[in-house]
Amino acid sequence: MKAPAKRMSMRGVRTFCVAARHGSFRVAAEELFITASAVSHQVKKLEDELGVRLFERRGRDLELTEAGRILYDEADSAIRRLDTVAEGLRPEATQTTLRVSVQPFFASEMFVPRLSRFTALHPEIDISVDTSDESVERHPPNADVSIRLFAAPPKGLAATALFPLMLVPACSPEFRARLNMVGWNVREPFPLVVHTTRPDAWRLWSEFSGIHIPKTRNVIRLDSMIAVARAVERGLGAALLPLPLSNAWFQSGSLVRLFDQEMRSSDAYYVVYENQQGHRAEVHALRDWVLQEFGDRS
């Protein structure tokens, strides 16, 4: 009689999927609230059960083998479906509210226009979006998840990078037509619209691009990127606008590039949450969706 096939450890499969998603035992350990050595041990045990290698280990980096890729593609979606079923079977299951803090311009140009895609995938999750805080380098304490600008991954928080902040000079078509320009040379000063959190942005962009911006006394300082974009759209001056957040403005023709040169700033957008929120399925659902929708694919 043929011996019964060995059963896989579901705990090991879950641990493997988290490690595969992050490409790191250390990051997987943080999510699962266990040690990195425990993650490694569970994955090794799963490999022994299956008789195949799931990862190629190159120092601290992990790369899925062909067998690992097949298992991850099948197991991760199956586990998510099981979790959804289990959640619905619980008597106490109720609608979950997720509090999300998003800086206003990101919210208006990217997050809110696509939010219906997330709610269609997760009708069991209510989303409460707060866009009142324009400041950088801050994860609001009353938020479950935030999407914000940071110069580096914030310490003491779970943070995943989305994309770097790129800045490009922009103005209205009418404003650009009025400028006295020869090639990339601007012969006379022109009004500038400046975001108050980045007072040196034009100087840094000029140094980066090699294009001289004539000194002007006509500077409009605004504390909201939405207000900056609106001011530029109405011909009040030129401003450095963030990409890809401003793409729709350029595609519609309401704004044009004053110059083509894009400057990569020192900041990047991150999805951030407290480590103790890591056990919540809805937090992971939003993080994974945001990475899929907005993550840097370059």
* Claim: this prediction has a pTM higher than 0.75: no
Query: What CATH number labels 10-89?
Result: 1.10.10.10
The DSSP secondary-structure symbol of 2 reads P
pLDDT score of 93: 47
**40 Cβ partners below 8 Å, 6+ apart?**
25
Tokens of 248: 């729709």
Measure the CA–CA gap between 204 and 208, rounded to whole angstroms: 6
Query: What CATH number labels 96-298?
Result: 3.40.190.290
Is residue 149's pLDDT more than 70? Answer: yes
pLDDT score of 12: 87
How is the chain split into domains, by residue range? 10-89, 96-298
Least confident of 36-45, 83-92, 217-226: 83-92
Is residue 74's pLDDT more than 50? Answer: yes
Q: Across the strands, what pairs with 274?
A: 157
> Is-contact 274 224, C-beta < 8 A?
no
**Span 76-126, pLDDT tens digits:** 888 877 776 766 665 554 557 899 999 999 999 999 999 999 999 999 899
> Is-contact 129 100, C-beta < 8 A?
yes
